Amino acid sequence: MREIQRKNRREAFKVLGGLLVCGGGAFGIVHTLARREASADETVKLGPLSEFSVGEFQKRTISVTEHGTWLEGPVEKTVWLRRNADDTFLVFSGTCPHMNCTVNLLPDKTFECPCHQSHFDQEGKVTSMPAPRPLDTLEYRVSGDGIVSIQFQNFRKELPTKELVPQ
């Protein structure tokens, strides 16, 4: 009788050990997929040139499709645009290059990341770390009929240089 109890206990420990190993492996896989940076690279129309005041930053929320993680699909992203007097634009991704938080425009027309207090000047340069680089600029285009579009892209975080997240 005692031998049967020992055998049952050994079998139970084998099963439990197997579950722990499998569970740990599954956790590692999910953790890797969840931490992987999503890629996005698409053109988004923002509207007519007349909607953008000269010299003022405007916040726009856009929808783009992210790829490369287990949570693929449409997501909302923030961009900041400033129309210059010569009808050129300065366009920033609203995502902090440190840890993916969304930056805010302060009353003095500079930017702050609320997560770790990185600060950026009006040209996007870092004035207070931990951000490792300036705000990421995005390409824009004004069509012949005056429609402003941007090329939204995701860039790798925590790097000193701007590097596109590959598709």
How much is the pTM? 0.77
Q: Residue 20: what pLDDT? A: 55
* Residues in CB range of 137: below 8 A, 6 or more apart: 90, 91, 92, 93, 124, 162
Residue 127 φ/ψ region, left for φ over 0, alpha for ψ in the -120 to 50 degree band, beta for the rest: alpha
Helix (H, G, I), strand (E, B) or coil at 34: helix
Residues 32, 68: contact at Cβ < 8 Å? no
% of the chain surpassing 90 pLDDT = 69
Structure tokens at 131: 């951000």
Q: Residue 5: what pLDDT? A: 60
Q: Smallest Cα–Cα separation from 45: which of 29, 28, 63?
A: 63
Residues 69, 38: contact at Cβ < 8 Å? yes
User: Rounded distance, CA 100 to CA 91, Å?
Assistant: 17
Q: Residue 15: what pLDDT? A: 63
Q: Residue 32: what pLDDT? A: 42
**Could you write out the three-class secondary structure of 125-157?**
CEEECCCCCCCCECEEEECCCCEEEEEEECECC
* Residues in CB range of 72: below 8 A, 6 or more apart: 38, 65, 66
Over the chain (167 residues), the average pLDDT of each successive run of 10 is 64 62 49 62 95 96 88 90 96 95 97 97 97 98 96 95 91
